[in-house]
Every structure is written in structure tokens, then in C-alpha cells.
Structure 1
Amino acid sequence: MKKILSLALAAAMALSLAACGNNGSQTSQSSNSGSASNSGNTSQQEEVNFPNGKQISLIVPYAAGGASDTVARIYASELEQSLDTSVIVSNVEGASGAIGLEQVRNADPDGYTMAYMPVESTMLSALGFTDLSTNDFKFVGRAMTIPAAVTVRADAPWDTFEDFLAYAKEHPGEVQVGNSGTGSIWHIAAASIEKECGVEFTHVPFDGAAPAVAALLGKNIQAVTVSPSEVKNNVDSGDFKVLCILGESRSSVVPEVETAQEMGYDITIQGWGGFAVPKDTPQAIVDILEEASEVAINSDSVKQTLADRGYEHAYLNGADMDAKAAEELAYYSELIPELGIA
């Protein structure tokens, strides 16, 4: 009997030890599993809590005081309220915007470094300034558009865009069209008319839109393709007339003027401004910035700033702007080499 009890006791002790060993192993595995789970949760939590009180840097790739800078600063002010954190705007100019955008592309993709993105971001690689393109970013929203306006003197012999094109076809290269610089969006605007309408202009580059407008006023050239706001004073004074708007919609500055699309021409050339982050930024963070940007861009202060400048409030969400930028990148990558300016 004692032998049986001894054997039973031994067996029980063995089972107990085995159970302790298994429990220890399970505890260890559970601990490791919990650690991995916690690690994943921590990462997700950091994304969900973004920006978690940390400062965001918004890089504007142009000089302070310009239109892009002004719009970016109003946006930043509204974004601060949406995200409850500080947003600091820095101007990093040079190489037609390439230097500032390069800084954002090379930043940690954590959502704390953003870029003001101009239409030129779809053109820089084709112009040879950098290998950077909009493919290196994810947009969180577009704020505005600035359409090109085909403008001539009030005493010019053309009263319609069709008249203007007919004359240009009959007199190749005779019409001198001023722009804000070789390779600028306004140069591209006139070149796009040539491509789509089968006409030939002589392109006259100036150091900005203002000198081009002055040259038209002085009868040194026959037309300009610049923004409506840049010719509005001369239109109001009776010196100029706008024949056509090349934007996706009519301009609030000259709402009576039809777009090229309305006239049956497949031409949409416009400046725009949006906001983006490096392409590898986690989607959860992009979503937070996109939601906050929608609120900021659609705020009364941003809308009023755009209206005061003569720009069109034209909000697009991130995905739609990614698609539009990709489309324009492909177009300019083909057109610019054809122009021989790269």
C-alpha cells in the first residue's frame, strides 16, 4: 500500500512539475506574444494620435510674400486649429521650386514635414531641374486653381478666340505671345494652344507676368497668356479684352468669358496649389492630414484669401489630386521636350 501511495505521489509530483514547465513556457510565449501585440498597438496608436502635439513643418518652395506663400500661411493657420498643433511655414526657394520640394521628398515620411505643391511640380523633371516629380508625394488636398487667360489689346482685330486662331493659322509665327518665362505654366499655355489648334506663335518670355502685361499694353507684343487677375486692371480700364479662359471652369475674375472647353477645344491649362507629404507616409497619417486639410481649405479665411487674389477655390481630396497630378505629369513630360526647352 505504501508502495502504491509512493508511486502515486511521485506521479502527481511529475505531473505537477510538467504542468509548471508548460505554464512557464506558455507564460513566456504569452509574454512574447503580448510584447509583439503591444508593439503593433503602440505603432498604430502613434499613427492614430498623430500629430500628438508635435510641430509640423510646411515647406513653401518659393520666396516669402508671394501668392503661394500667402495661401500656404492661411492654410497653415487653419490646419493648426484642425489638428490642435503648431504648423510652421518655411520658405526654401531655388531652382523653380525644386530645392524646397527636394527637402520634403528627403524628409522622414512621418507626416511632420509637408510641402506646398505648385503645378510646376509636374514639370520640373521634364525641364531638367531635378528627377523629382509628383510621383514622389502623396497629396492631402488641392486648394486652388489659376487659369490661363488669352488676352489681347482692346483695339486688336480679333473679337473672339476663333478670330484669333484663324488669323494665327493664316499668319504662322506672326502673333507674338508674351509669357512669364521660358518653361513657365503660361508659356505652356500658349504652346498647348499651338498643339491642339494647329497654329504657330512666336513665344516672347519675360521675367514674370507683369512685364509681359506691360509689353502688351505698350503694343510690343500682340497677346499674353497669363492669369485673369494679372490683366484685370487693364480689362477694367478698357485697354484689354480676354478672348478665352483655359481653366477647367470659368474665372470668377472675368465670369462672362467662356472656357476653351466650352468653345469645343480640348485645352485645360492652369496653375494650381495643393499640399502633400512624402509618398511613403503611412496611410493612417495621410488620412488624418487629408481630413484636417479639407476643413482648412474649405474655411472662410482660405476662400476669402483666394478670392482677394483672384484665384479659384477648387478643393480636391488627396486621391483625386494624385490622379490629376499623374495625368498632368504625363502630359508635360511629353509636351516640354517637344517644345525644345528642356
Structure 2
Amino acid sequence: MKRLTRCLAACALTLAPWIGWAADWKPDRSVTIVVPFPPGGTADQVARLVAVEMEKSLGQPFVVVNQPGATGAIGARAVRDGVKDGYVWLGTAHRLVGTYAIMSDVKVNLDEFQQFLAITNVPVISVAANSPYNDFGSLLAALKERPGQLTVGTAGPATSGHFAMEAVAQTVNIKYRHVTYPGGAPAVLSTVSGETVINAELASDQAEMIRSKRLKPLAALSSTPLDIKGYGVIPSINKWIPNLPAVTTQFGILIPKGVPQDVVDTVTRLWDNQIAKSAALKTWADERGALVTVLSGKAAQDAVWPTVVSSAWMMHSAGLTRASPSTIGIPPLGAK
């Protein structure tokens, strides 16, 4: 009897991986990733990298659909309100989703999604190649001498570029003129063309223009210098503003809560193994000054939450929110 019990136990252990695999989600049609910004920006590029990796394991096409509007809020709402069958995902900046409910009429909350992080990125303060400003110190002096006159191109309210400039403005008490575009890529081009004086988009959005010397990077909003492959090192903004914290934004995939559990379990397994080891994702990050940060579940939530809190209260301090962050459960900065 004992021998039979041991035999059955051994068989169970042998079959366990196959039983788990049999319970995995196997899509029978294409999966859509909605990117709520135009093509070419960081959210779009990361979503397309993820799509390729997921296709390898799940055997169905992953189609990226760009649906811009209201700084990404319209696309996020469409995914949140769609059929909860696991076939429609959201590819965007996680921090943004956490502030829509106070920045717009679109009431979408981050806790309505399962989070899967892939990349962490920082903004860079840049100017056009022919700009008279050759370091951040000279640009900062101009911002102080001409309050509200120098234009800054960003992808819209509360986006990474706007968050970056507000961090600078509120720390050193300067004013600028905010010019918005439908995404990071057109915002970058606005500075390249001279339509705006300053760009504060993410390093990943600016990297190609920096490498080709069409943009002149002056400072990275990171605590250490930022190395852009093929260009060199961009100094930390702390050289000029020592007390300015690093400004980060995480990108990845969000899946609306309420989808079948086998979808979540399968994506989590693939995320923690396949996406974490993706050579394509690492190469993309290395070339654009980004950091591969593959996290899922509670670890992803914990990584994103501090950036939601800081950006929400920063935008509220600037008078740009429609309600206090505390009304949607975002505690004041420093609260425990």
C-alpha cells in the first residue's frame, strides 16, 4: 500500500507541470492592445515589443491599435468598459491612468486594472540643435529672466513631459508656456522644428533625435547622469537643482479586472519569465536610456504608486486638477 501511495505521488509530481499547462489560457483569435496615443511614442513602442513576444507563446496575432484622445483617457476608458474576455489590453504609462479621475471628466482608476510593468524611463530637458542654450544652467537663467515666455512642448496635461516641467517649475519657482501635442513623438518634433523652445519628453522619445544631433540634451531628470547609447552621457539635473527628486514613468500593459482568471495567470507566467528575459526589450531600453523593470501583481502596483502620488499632488499644486487627489484615495505627499 505504501509503495502504491509513493508511486501515485511520484506520478502526480511528474504530471503537475502538464496539469498547470493544460489550465493555461489559449486565445482562439487575435488580441488587441489599445495604445491611447499616436504611433511612435514610448507607449506605442513598448506595446509593439510586448505584442511580438506574446505572439511567440500564445500563437495568435497581437494587434496594436492607436486610439489617442484626452491624454490617453479615452482609450483607457474604452478598454475598462469593454467586454471582459481577455482579448483587449491597454498599453500606456501606468502613472497617467492613476490620475485621470482628477485631471479629466473620464473617471478611470488604476485599481480597475491588472498591472504588468516593462520599462521605467526618465525625461530629458532638451532644446533644438541650433538653440543658443548649451547647458541647463543657461536655460534656467532664461526661464527666470523671461517668466511664462519660453514654450515647452509635451504630450499633454500630466504626461511625462508636463510632469517633468512642473517638477522643475515648482522646485525653483519658474514659469513656462505649455504647448500640448497628441503624443510624445509630435511633441519632440515640435522642438526639433523650432515650434517650441524646450522639450521635456522621455529619453526614449527623444533618443533618435539626440543621436542624430537634431536635439541638444541639457539635463536628465534622474539622480545620476544618463547614458544614451550612440550619444554619450547627459548630466543629471541635480547638478543645477540638487533637491529635485528623480522623475520616473513606468510603461507596460494593463488588463481590465474581471477577465477570466486563467488569462491573468497565463499573462503573469509569461510576463515573469518570457518578457523578463526578452533580448529585444533589453536592446530597446539600452538604446534609449530606459531601464527594464519587469514586474507584475503587487510588485507592479507598489512600484507605480509613489509616482501616482507625487504627480497627482504636483498637478494639484499647479491648479490643474478638477478635484483634490484625496477624493480618490491618493494621500498627501509624506503621509503614511
Normalising by structure 1, what TM-score?
0.68
State the partner residue of 2:251.
273
- Deviation at residue 153 of structure 1 after TM alignment: 4.3
Q: Verify: 1:105 aligned to 2:84, yes or no.
A: no
Please say if residues 245 and 251 of structure 1, whose CA atoms lie closer than 8 Å, have aligned partners that are also in contact.
no
State the partner residue of 2:267.
289
Please say if residues 99 and 312 of structure 2, whose CA atoms lie closer than 8 Å, have aligned partners that are also in contact.
yes
Q: Verify: 1:93 aligned to 2:67, yes or no.
A: yes
Q: Out of 317, 320, 324, which is 2:303 matched to?
A: 324
Q: Out of 289, 292, 302, which is 1:314 matched to?
A: 292
Distance 2:132 2:49 in 1: 43
State the partner residue of 2:333.
none
Q: Verify: 1:252 aligned to 2:231, yes or no.
A: no
Please say if residues 144 and 311 of structure 1, whose CA atoms lie closer than 8 Å, have aligned partners that are also in contact.
no
Distance 2:24 2:268 in 1: 12
State the partner residue of 2:93.
118
For residue 104 of structure 2, what is the amino acid of its counterpart? Answer: G
Please say if residues 149 and 244 of structure 1, whose CA atoms lie closer than 8 Å, have aligned partners that are also in contact.
yes
Q: Out of 62, 65, 71, which is 2:36 matched to?
A: 62
Distance 1:153 1:80 in 2: 39
Q: 1 or 2, which has the higher helix percentage?
A: 1
Q: How many residues align?
A: 295
Distance 1:109 1:270 in 2: 30
Residues 294-309 of structure 1 mapped to structure 2, 5 A cutoff: 294=272, 295-305=274-284
Distance 2:191 2:26 in 1: 53
For residue 134 of structure 1, what is the amino acid of its counterpart? Answer: L
Q: Out of 106, 120, 124, which is 1:149 matched to?
A: 124
- Deviation at residue 136 of structure 1 after TM alignment: 1.2
Greater Cα radius of gyration, structure 1 or 2:
1
The verdict on how the C-alpha distance between 1:243 and 1:326 changes in structure 2, with shifts beyond 3 A counting, is same
Moved more, 267-276 or 130-139: 267-276
Please say if residues 138 and 276 of structure 1, whose CA atoms lie closer than 8 Å, have aligned partners that are also in contact.
yes
- Deviation at residue 128 of structure 1 after TM alignment: 0.9
Please say if residues 55 and 88 of structure 1, whose CA atoms lie closer than 8 Å, have aligned partners that are also in contact.
no
Normalising by structure 2, what TM-score?
0.69
- The structure 1 segments of at least 4 consecutive aligned residues displaced by more than 6 Å after TM superposition are 45-48
Q: Which runs of 5+ in 1 are unaligned?
A: 1-44
- Secondary structure at the aligned position of 2:234 is classed as coil
Q: Which runs of 5+ in 2 are unaligned?
A: 1-18, 322-336
Q: Pairwise CA RMSD of aligned residues?
A: 3.8
The verdict on how the C-alpha distance between 1:178 and 1:105 changes in structure 2, with shifts beyond 3 A counting, is closer
User: Alignment identity in percent?
Assistant: 21
1:46-90 Cα deviation digits (max 9, x unpaired)? 9971215655734313368544444323323322434x4435335
For residue 180 of structure 2, what is the amino acid of its counterpart? Answer: P
Q: Verify: 1:131 aligned to 2:88, yes or no.
A: no
- Secondary structure at the aligned position of 1:226 is classed as coil
